[in-house]
Chain A
Amino acid sequence: MAIHEQSLIRPENVRKHDRLVLDGIDVSGHWSTFIEPRVVTDYNERLQDEIAALPGGEHIHRCWQCGSCTNACTVNALNPDFNPRFWIYLIRTGMESELLRDKDIIWQCVSCNKCTYACPRDVFPEGVMKATAHWLELKGHTPPSPSTLFDQEFTGQVIETGRIEEGRILRRFFARTGQALKQDWLIEMARRVARRMPVKLAFAMGKATLFRPRTRRWAKARTALTDYVHERESEHRKALGLGEPKAGGTGAADAARH
């Protein structure tokens, strides 16, 4: 198989022998490197369909493995294990257990859309990354990532009031992820602003915290959007053959109510 099956050449599958004689011929050393034969039987034949059923994954079948996405990828430049082209390959061939090896980094896509810009087949790899991260969480392979918690907090506030208030997002996100607000760098930032910040702005920010910004004429939209998000969540679960979520779930519509 072509080089895109990189799992074949993982260190644990590569065999070298310091001393090996076959039929009286010395084949010791690097030149006789062997790759361990491997049989894959646990294909998930529904994997591509499941990803394609989630928002963003719709066009995954169009991929022809050119690798432009990985070549353009912002996160790949920081971490070579972040490899959209490879993950699309694994999903399309149903190699679920291989995909799960990278389950903890797939959510790290920064949505810069360089992949989507470069893709000659309109696969929308950014969407595929989001669909895959979503799939991992719905299937219970990973807990909600910090990014998902942030998205839910954000979306919940938008549904509730029509607008967001950044200070509230920051405080609630830090609380949900168990991080302290008193981080060195946050304090340093506040110190630098406070040096020059006029009383007027401090007052405005205090006001925003006490009286949350709200969009007028939003009540009907709040109900419509809450229902819509619940409806979509059920559709996604159904597409993956999952039952209804437990009451008091962690979704965006629920975040809005808390």
Chain B
Amino acid sequence: MSDPKDDLKARYRKVAYYPGCALEGTAHAYDVSTRAVGEALGLALEEVPDWNCCGAMEVKNVDPKLQTYLSSRVLSIAAHEMKADVVMSPCNGCYHNLKKAEYDLAHDEASRATVSRLSGKSGHAPYEAGEVESIHALDWIKHGIGEEGLRSRVKKSLSGLKIANYYGCMYTRPRHIFPEKDKGPGSDSTLKPHFMDDLLDAAGAQSVEFALKTACCGGAHTLSDSDTSTKLVLNILRAAEASGADVIATECPTCHSGLEMHQVRAEKVFGEKTNVKILYFTQLLGIALGVGPRKLGVHENVSDGMAALAEKGIA
């Protein structure tokens, strides 16, 4: 019998890529760094053609099943047109919504009926639960390459860099839409996720104990209730600094831009200055793999991560 780990390595070598709207806009750097890391690791990405927005955190408030349809259309294209087995999204919002659609279509007759009706009217075959596997960029690298594989490819160790790994809400909650998590060794934990810690530690960094890994940044109300978001982000930034971190690694464009934006807002509006830098985990992995910082979009970040890296002699 073959090792299930090897099966995943083969399965994730080439995946359908769903970047989503944020990665075409404010999180452009997350898109380029994800592609660059894939290239450096020999993992191939094929973009889902004519993809649409997943509905982020907004459409569900107008109607949850409308959001289920939006995600199902992306899955339908991946399954039926691309004949893909796996869809990978680096964005927590997209990943979360694909998983939510998968769960609803597997368990709720009313969701199946709505998706079937809207797919028919929109002129494509409805997506049916189980046709493709939806994964996050963390799963893709963790299972597609693994810590050993990563260690052997590191060209510039992140040695000396202390990192607070921040996963936010949508990677782990609500638990029922992530049936593959909390399955013991080899799976990620919804209470204390560690895939990002594992990967960055393999790249030589030192992940710190960080109590607010899955705290909320207030991303849903980043503009509609800015003071609440600023207070929540400030908690996260202060906790990261208190845990000794030089940088916060992110794996969600909403969290990333929320942390950056409200770090500035906290300084300007509340007079609360924090110095911890914010980088996408793919930017940090890319640097460790020897990719140039500009190719990883580090200069596009609001938070000046280059200074922190230069200080440690890393970039």
- Chain A contact residues, CB within 8 Å of chain B: 55-56, 74-75, 78, 108, 110-114, 116-117, 124, 126-127, 130, 134, 145-152, 154-155, 158, 162-167, 170, 173-174, 177, 184-185, 188-189, 192-193, 196-198, 201, 204-205, 208, 213, 215-218, 220-221, 223-225, 228-229, 232, 251-252
Contacts and interface: CB of A to CB of B under 8 A. Distances in A.
Interface string B37-77: 00000000000001111011111111111100110010000
Interface in B190-215: 190, 215
A232 B63 contact: yes
B26 A196 contact: no
A213 to B, nearest CB: 6
A158 B59 contact: yes
B268 A110 contact: no
A70 B55 CA distance: 27
A196 B300 contact: yes
B267 to A, nearest CB: 8
B147 to A, nearest CB: 28
Contacts of A158: 52-53, 55, 59, 70
Given A110-B228, A177-B224, A220-B121, 14 more contacts: A55-B63, A78-B228, A78-B232, A108-B228, A110-B220, A145-B224, A146-B224, A150-B58, A150-B224, A166-B22, A189-B261, A215-B50, A215-B53, A217-B50
Contacts of B69: 225
- Sorting the interface of chain B by its residue count into under 10, 10 to 19, 20 to 34 or 35 or more gives 35 or more
A166 B26 contact: yes
Contact of B225 (A146, A229, A252): A146
A221 B122 contact: yes
Contact of B299 (A78, A177, A198): A198
Given A113-B173, A148-B61, A163-B52, A75 B265 contact: no
Contact of A150 (B28, B66, B223): B223
Contacts of A189: 260-261, 264, 302
Contact of B268 (A164, A188, A217): A188
Contacts of A126: 174
B254 to A, nearest CB: 11
Given A110-B221, A117-B173, A151 B50 contact: no
A126 B216 CA distance: 14
A56 B231 CA distance: 27
Contacts, number: 174
Interface in B239-272: 260-261, 264-265, 267-269
Given A146-B225, A165-B25, A221 B73 contact: yes
A112 B172 CA distance: 10
Contacts of B232: 74, 78, 110
A155 to B, nearest CB: 5
A153 to B, nearest CB: 8
Interface of B: 21-22, 24-26, 28, 50-53, 55-66, 69-70, 73, 114, 118, 121-123, 169, 172-175, 190, 215-216, 218-221, 223-225, 228, 231-232, 260-261, 264-265, 267-269, 299-300, 302, 304
A188 B264 contact: yes
B300 A113 contact: no
Given A113-B173, A192-B302, A201 B122 contact: no
Ranked nearest first, the 6 interchain pairs of A and B with the lowest CB-CB distance are A112-B216, A224-B121, A146-B224, A221-B122, A154-B58, A113-B173
Contacts of B64: 55-56, 127
Interface SS, A side: helix
A238 to B, nearest CB: 15
A91 B64 CA distance: 22
A216 B61 contact: no
Contacts of B260: 189
A166 B91 CA distance: 15
B118 A228 contact: yes
B159 to A, nearest CB: 26
A191 to B, nearest CB: 9
A185 B21 contact: no
Contacts of B63: 55, 228-229, 232
A154 B190 CA distance: 29
Contacts of B22: 166
A155 B123 contact: no
A220 B190 CA distance: 39
Given A111-B220, A215-B52, A220-B122, A185 B265 contact: yes
A166 B93 CA distance: 15
Contacts of B261: 185, 189
A110 B262 CA distance: 15
A164 to B, nearest CB: 5
A75 B169 CA distance: 14
